[in-house]
Structure 1
């Protein structure tokens, strides 16, 4: 009878040697079926070995599936710690992220350890810690470092002994997180000359990302089987972490670039106080705001959004904002003309893209704003006696029609009132229908505490916290932090 072959599991190399515990079962011959019928011993022992192997692969498959569902780097690090603790039989641990290329981000995350506990561990000299030796690239640490009885080691650093006793751990197992090196390219055909061919290309070592440490409450160390399983899991985890690390770096770069394209500071104009708030999406969106001093002590206020996400949307946002600034300087007192020029430029230079925009010509001395909008949500007027949306004309976004034009409206805020401009991302991130999203925004603005109404920044913060609580899930099940929408708020309070 042919023995069944274990199925191939995604992310697991089925060609690796069997774990040690399966070999031991063959050597000792402890199978009940083998003892009952010695003639069938070889087949029964083989089935036992295969059953143990399949069980291990099934466990690894479930753990790697859970890891593959993580989308953020910190979440993946925590899942790696939890899975590793289950595989090596530990209760606590920590992972240190410190990429070897020095580009960061550096981080330390604990499992069953508070922030203060991690702080105590960080006071131990780095050279006396196994993860420190791994991160410093010292030899002999590639296969993991086991410390089965810390307190019994004679050469243990005194500070390490003190921290271990304080936190209540007696043993540790440390493993490097190193993804597999890339496949070497095939060498070219050697030239048909008498000269010897060049040496074949070889792949360098994989990029070390960090190290994971699991802590035991009593003297212990993982068995050969456990080391085999955690080694397989760590190899897959390092690959997944490397992808998330690259994504995290890309998002950080996108955030930096988009922030550099926005005003570094808001102008100070007598009679009005300004504040801006922004939440960047994980994909890099094209929302922007601007506040530009204009002649005659006037002020140009603008918010807008470019369709799309990623580097192209950020670049288009920068071009559009710069163009709007130029048009505002030339004819800012006529917001309709400013947006008409912007629409013509967009249609001629980027015909495949559309954008929404709201521009206001603000005269603080008169407490007056002349507004024109292109497919944008209406501003919100927040005061002690009223909280209402400004009635603006319904108009298409820029780039959607052959010729854009819409009438402007005038807003006359009372002393102490705040005009809040915002992008559509504030509404979209709620996941609610449009009418409910507007109702939520209105309720948040009406509920601004009296003590915060003198500060436009505090008003914007309160609205943002109330409409989009950190980590809250929308009605569609999407976290606000994971949304593809940027959010921009620009608040102007009149004195």
Structure 2
């Protein structure tokens, strides 16, 4: 046996009840969604060192008043002091519980992929850690490059509007964003003598009496925003809760900073792509145009064009460049600009236009290929002559027919040593609409090619008669029918272009 000297002692100054304070874990259990837990949210053992995590926590974190001690049944009995080993075990159990809670909350956070989802998760987790019910986070990067947004938890849009009417210097998150202070707790707002009158009015209207605010600061980018949680009654988080939410906020700030950079890159690519496309569609007698364009998060090479040509004609074009990202967007801009020049010179012959475009692509960018379709339209005659290079066939939509235009099978531009395919000519009836689109519309469905074409055909045939005279309504209906449940707006690696040309 080990001979331990009697001088060795374990000193524990804080009572185990104060050290363990399981309100944080209890709040986390309340915050966790009800249902079958996943691998990262597996329930912990029901008891750790004698602590039952299923006991509900109080609504706020104000320390409860100590209960009056009951008279012992036997006045001669003297309570024995707790063993030092048991006190140390309770303290270690509290530390393990805190680390487990932070681990699970940060795991939830890092699984978010969008800025909005991450901000919402930050608010929910922070509310569980500080014992609050409501809050808001203001994203305002210090470099002024955006994005700027405000998201609330338990607060509607009108409530956020009321809070934003409070002078910036009179509200905690405003002072944090201005660099006037860091973490701040206001345990009893309505009792403060120097509280701004407008802030007092808004707090009384919305029913909050205390707040706890934290800065969101990343190591590389500096301050990117602030978060504040609101209590319904005068209250303040304990020191332990403040420590835990501070650790969580520091980790969350780094994750938010990365998502901010991703959001900025996506916005930059989307702006570049839109600027390289027509700012508006031309107006031509006898024809109305509408277009819908959806860009993927990485920026793609799908494009469209509509340009007036001599003799009251109109040139319509859609195409797609292989690849994604800035290089594909730049290649798309060069290809579209070249096609416009060729269309002005020899637009009556779509085959010649695409042949020149193929030669240019093969000489200047031999490692890249593209699909394209060019149509020479004569609105007065409702006549269209078109040629395609590896592109999807147009769809003709009318009251009496909904059919794909028969086009010859041809390879994409840049795939063969010399491209050439015959053109196709067809006549449209009054009131009919021609739909030109890129293959991204079909790819986003997730179906096989034949089923995707069938879905597109059914969507076009199902356009209500009341909408068939409006190309904008037709484009919206077809897009929502082919890509239901918000798939037309959801992020995807595939760009989508849908160009509708309606003949009067």
TM-score, L = length of structure 2: 0.83
Q: Which of residues 101, 104, 112 is equivalent to 1:62?
A: 104
Equivalent in the alignment of 1:380: 395
1:77 to 104, 119, 139: 119
Distance 1:227 1:28, change over 3 A: closer
Identify the residue that residue 482 of structure 2 maps to in structure 1.
Answer: 467
Q: Note if 1:150 corresponds to 2:159.
A: no
Please point out which of 131, 143, 162 is paired with 1:101.
143
**Residue 41 (structure 2) aligns with:** none
2:318 maps to 303
Task: Please point out which of 48, 51, 73 is paired with 2:93.
Answer: 51
> What CA deviation, in whole Å up to 9, does each residue of 1:14-50 have, x standing for no partner?
xxxxxxxx983569899989x99989x4544433333
Give the conservation status (yes or no) of the 8 Å contact 1:29–1:45: no
Deviation string 1:119-171 (CA, Å, 9 cap, x unpaired) is 11111121110001111111xx22x1111111222222222122112212111
Query: How far apart are residue 118 of structure 1 and its match?
Result: 0.6
> Which residue of structure 1 aligns with residue 26 of structure 2?
none
CA contact (8 A) 1:358 1:371 kept: yes
Aligned to 2:370: 355
Between stretches 417-426 and 265-274, larger displacement belongs to 265-274
The 8 Å contact of residues 430 and 480 in structure 1, kept in 2 or not, is answered as no
Cα distance change of structure 1 residues 231 and 330 upon mapping to structure 2, 3 Å threshold: same
Structure 2 residue aligned with 1:401: 416
For 2:340 and 2:382, how far apart are their aligned partners in 1? 22
Structure 1 counterpart of 2:14: 24
SS in 2 for 1:209: strand
1:488 aligns with 2:478: no
Runs of 4+ residues over 6 Å off in structure 1: 26-33, 35-39
Residue 36 to residue 462, structure 1, CA distance change in 2 (3 Å): farther
Offset of residue 64 of structure 1: 1.0
In structure 2, C-alpha distance between the alignment counterparts of 1:296 and 1:274, rounded to whole Å:
19
Question: What's the offset of the Cα at 1:57?
Answer: 1.3
Q: Against the structure 1 CA distance between its residues 454 and 222, is the aligned structure 2 distance closer, same or farther, given a 3 Å change threshold? A: same
Distance 1:396 1:480 in 2: 30
2:229 is aligned to 214
Please name the residue that 2:327 is paired with.
312
Q: Take 1:88 and 1:258, find their aligned partners in 2: how far apart are those partners?
A: 44
| 2:374 corresponds to 1:343 | no
Instruction: Tell me what 1:126 maps to.
Output: 168
Note if contact 1:382-1:418 (Cα within 8 Å) is conserved in structure 2.
yes
2:386 to 368, 371, 382: 371
1:341-365 C-alpha deviation (Å, 9 max, x unpaired)? 2112112211111111111111112
Distance 1:413 1:27, change over 3 A: closer
Number of paired residues?
440
Secondary structure of the 1:481 match is coil
Paired with 2:237 and 2:81, the residues of 1 have a C-alpha distance of: 33
Contact 1:266 1:291 in 2 (8 A): yes
Greater alpha carbon shift after TM alignment, 427-436 vs 75-84:
427-436
**Alignment correspondent of 2:58:** none
- The alignment's C-alpha RMSD in Å is 2.4
* Stretch moving more, 68-77 or 446-455: 446-455
CA distance in 2, matches of 1:68, 1:370: 53
The answer to whether the 8 Å contact 1:25/1:49 transfers is no
Q: CA–CA distance in 2 between the matches of 1:104 and 1:25?
A: 48
1:430 aligns with 2:445: yes
1:92 corresponds, among 131, 134, 147, to: 134
Residues of 2 paired with 1:101 and 1:29: CA distance? 41
Structure-2 change in CA distance of 1:366 and 1:29 (3 Å): closer
Distance 1:28 1:436 in 2: 64
Give distance in 2, aligned partners of 1:268 and 1:130: 53
Aligned to 1:414, what secondary structure does the other structure show? coil
| Cα contact 2:294–2:489 (8 A) shared by 1 | no
| Deviation sequence 1:279-334 (CA, Å, 0-9, x none) | 11111111110011112221111000111111001000001111111111122111
SS at match of 1:482: coil
Distance 1:405 1:480 in 2: 36
> What's the offset of the Cα at 1:102?
1.2
Distance 1:438 1:24 in 2: 71
SS at match of 1:146: strand
Range moving further from structure 2, 270-279 or 312-321: 270-279
- Per mean C-alpha deviation after superposition, the further-off stretch among 150-159 and 73-82 is 150-159
1:249 matches 2:288: no
